[in-house]
Amino acid sequence: MFTSTDVKTACGADVLCKQVFDWTGLQWLANGSYVIIIKPVRVIGIILVAMLIRWLLHRAITRLASTSSRASMPALLKPLKEKVTVTAEEGTFIPERRRQRAEAIGSVLRSFVSALIFTMAALLVMGELGFNLAPLLASAGIVGVALGFGAQSLVKDLIAGLFMLLEDQYGVGDTVDLGEATGVVESVGLRITTVRDARGVLWYIRNGEIVRVGNKSQGWAMVVIDIPIGFVNSEEAAAVLKAAAETVAHDPEHETGFLEPPDVVGVEQLTVDGAVIRTIAKTTADGQVSIQRDLRRALTESLESSGLSERIAASRLPRSAVPPAWLGGTDNTTPPSAGGTV
């Protein structure tokens, strides 16, 4: 056994060394108590604290994402741009889309939080193990700058993809116009968006290259149909078209597709062949195509059944009666030669 003088000589002012020597009576264990006991405890503590923080943040993000499918949406998950207030009918189509977007944003946030926390924990553990972090951090900074210059397009794509999710520009299943490609979105990622067009071609589009987005599936859609009526009475034609549009609106097949009753707004323009009457209808985005097709068919058939089609055809001016362009009309026939008669 060591005497009190030996303990003071071996441990000096180290309280832990003295305590370990008092417990065990082993000088080598007392002298190495800091390396054998304190450092492993600190390393384990850093790892446990990092895992706890990660678990708490993941739980908070998951809760935040789950509340997005409810009526009240958290401010963090609201689009950055101010949305127009939607009606009750339109609101029934939003929760599923909101849920998908919230899950995508939540997945990105969880991955980012995990990478950040574990990186910081790894640096703290390396510091506890005696590594000199200054050269490592300097090297990491140089590598980061080099990657930043070499991968500018990648960073641009990732940032554009993140803002696309936050702003809810489009989602899987939406019909979009992205400039070169127009079709249905099949997948959305932080770097790449895939769109399949009407011919079945699958387009891979980098998010950083998308400068404009036309979303044909978001919220609601508008059906606009212009019907030429010649020179017949516009009020009579509007009444016939309105009755046909209301018939389509009350059809059980399309009853849920109309957000507002269809309306015949009246004469939209005048041409050399007569007036053109416009019919509009506010519909769901999914039902726009089928409603537009059936509404166009019903309007055409209503003109046929009412006898207006024959009157429209008869009211149109024959092409020979249209003044040529060189006399101020719309006929593009070549004017006669200088020696002829007009």
Flag whether pLDDT at 179 surpasses 50. Answer: yes
My answer on whether 233 and 209 are in the same domain is no
Q: How confident is the model at residue 70 (pLDDT cuts 50, 70, 90)?
A: low
- Please list the residues that pair with 15 across neighbouring strands: none
pLDDT value of position 14: 57
Which CATH number covers residue 192? Answer: 2.30.30.60
96 and 168 Cβ atoms separated by less than 8 Å: no
Q: What is the mean pLDDT of the chain?
A: 75
Helix, strand, coil percent values for the chain (each to nearest 5): 55, 15, 30
Q: How confident is the model at residue 55 (pLDDT cuts 50, 70, 90)?
A: very high
Q: Is residue 341 part of a domain?
A: no
Q: How confident is the model at residue 50 (pLDDT cuts 50, 70, 90)?
A: very high
Greatest Cα pair distance in the chain: 138
**What is the span of the domain harbouring residue 9?**
4-31
Instruction: Choose one of 215, 250, 280: the last residue of a domain.
Output: 215
Nearest to 184 by CA among 168, 200, 166: 200
Q: Is residue 187 part of a domain?
A: yes
Strand order through the sheet with 220-230: 220-230, 274-284, 263-271
Q: Is residue 150 part of a domain?
A: no
pLDDT value of position 76: 46
Q: For residues 337 and 320, what is the distance between their CA atoms, to the nearest angstrom?
A: 19
My answer on whether 52 and 108 are in the same domain is yes
Q: How confident is the model at residue 109 (pLDDT cuts 50, 70, 90)?
A: confident
55: Cβ contacts below 8 Å, ≥ 6 apart:
none
179 and 211 Cβ atoms separated by less than 8 Å: yes
CA atoms within 13 A on the CB side of 165: 26
Q: Is residue 16 part of a domain?
A: yes
My answer on whether 232 and 298 are in the same domain is yes
Q: How confident is the model at residue 250 (pLDDT cuts 50, 70, 90)?
A: confident
pLDDT value of position 81: 44
Burial 16-25 (b: 16+ CB within 10 A, else e): ebbebbeeee
Digit-coded pLDDT (tens) for 128-169: 777 777 777 777 777 777 766 767 787 788 888 888 877 778
Which CATH number covers residue 300? Answer: 3.30.70.100
My answer on whether 118 and 41 are in the same domain is yes
Q: Is residue 98 part of a domain?
A: yes
Q: For residues 151 and 153, what is the distance between their CA atoms, to the nearest angstrom?
A: 5
Flag whether pLDDT at 244 surpasses 50. Answer: yes
Q: Is residue 151 part of a domain?
A: no
Q: Is residue 84 part of a domain?
A: yes
Average pLDDT over residues 255-278: 87
Q: Is residue 334 part of a domain?
A: no
Q: For residues 270 and 272, what is the distance between their CA atoms, to the nearest angstrom?
A: 7
Flag whether pLDDT at 30 surpasses 80. Answer: no
Q: For residues 69 and 259, what is the distance between their CA atoms, to the nearest angstrom?
A: 22
Digit-coded pLDDT (tens) for 287-334: 888 889 999 999 999 888 888 888 777 776 665 555 555 445 555 544
What percent of the chain stands above pLDDT 70?
Answer: 69
Give the orientation angle of helix 39-66 with respect to helix 95-128, to 10 degrees. 170
My answer on whether 111 and 64 are in the same domain is yes
My answer on whether 47 and 116 are in the same domain is yes
Flag whether pLDDT at 31 surpasses 70. Answer: no
My answer on whether 181 and 226 are in the same domain is no
**Token digits of residue 194:** 């895939």
**Residue 328 or residue 264, greater confidence:** 264
My answer on whether 239 and 196 are in the same domain is no
pLDDT value of position 49: 93
Domain count, the chain: 4
pLDDT value of position 107: 77
